[in-house]
A and B are shown apart, each in its own frame.
Chain A
């Protein structure tokens, strides 16, 4: 059974640009959550989608957005990139909808220069 796949693995972007990250969950999983990991703030919840609906959103500015498609694949978008957005962005998939085992992908390392 394939795991959670995140693409791309690495990205370098310039301040002010926007970026789209992709996540394909484990087959059969309908919940996808996104997290930002930085050395200073640790792992922070961004948002969670279940059956194409955003059910919960973390304390991040509106520049961070996401969506989920009918096949459960998810994308997150960050607009007007800032240097502080440099982080490892992790996607986790769960069978859903209740808190259950969440399996993480390897993440996308975003560097903003």
Chain B
């Protein structure tokens, strides 16, 4: 129930195309869904995040679509560029209030998608 399932494992897109990565979760307590981008030799970098009270969030060429009833969310990269070639991770976090009113910072990550954008 703590898993986040991510697909596809790898993705090849032509320059200018749309890259779409999907994630699904089971735990309805999850209430924060970030996407991270990781280049080789670097730590993951926060790209964009969404909370379940909205169905879509857009920042530049990156859009998160969120379907609460289906427990799915996806990342769309518009006008994909070779510089977008990286590994993308979705993640989810739950506000746990058993002991602390503020909750915990524990991210459950998907397995990652290796994106290659060809020129």
Q: Do A and B come from one complex?
A: yes
Q: List the interface of chain A (C-beta within 8 A of B).
A: 4, 6, 31, 33, 35, 42-45, 48, 50, 55-56, 58, 90, 92, 94, 96-107
Q: Known interface pairs A55-B100, A99-B32, A99-B94. Does A45 touch B44 (Cβ–Cβ under 8 Å)?
A: no
* Shortest beta-carbon distance from B29 to chain A in Å: 11
Kindly list chain B residues whose C-beta atoms are within 8 Å of the C-beta of A99.
Answer: 31-32, 93-95, 103-107
Interface of A is mostly: strand
A104 x B43 contact (CB < 8 A): yes
Interface string of B31-69 (1 = CB under 8 A from A): 110101000011111100100000000000000000000
Q: Which of B64-117 contact A (CB under 8 A)?
A: 89, 91, 93-96, 99-100, 102-112
A45 touching B102, Cβ below 8 Å? no
Count of chain A to chain B residue pairs whose CB atoms are closer than 8 Å in the complex: 83
Which B residues are within 8 Å of any A CB, using their own CB?
31-32, 34, 36, 41-46, 49, 89, 91, 93-96, 99-100, 102-112
Given contacts A50-B102, A104-B36, A104-B43, 18 further A-B contacts (CB under 8 A): A42-B89, A43-B89, A43-B91, A45-B108, A48-B105, A50-B105, A55-B99, A55-B105, A94-B105, A97-B105, A98-B105, A99-B32, A99-B93, A99-B105, A99-B106, A99-B107, A102-B34, A106-B43
- Contacts A48-B105, A56-B104 hold; do A98 and B111 have CB atoms under 8 A apart? no
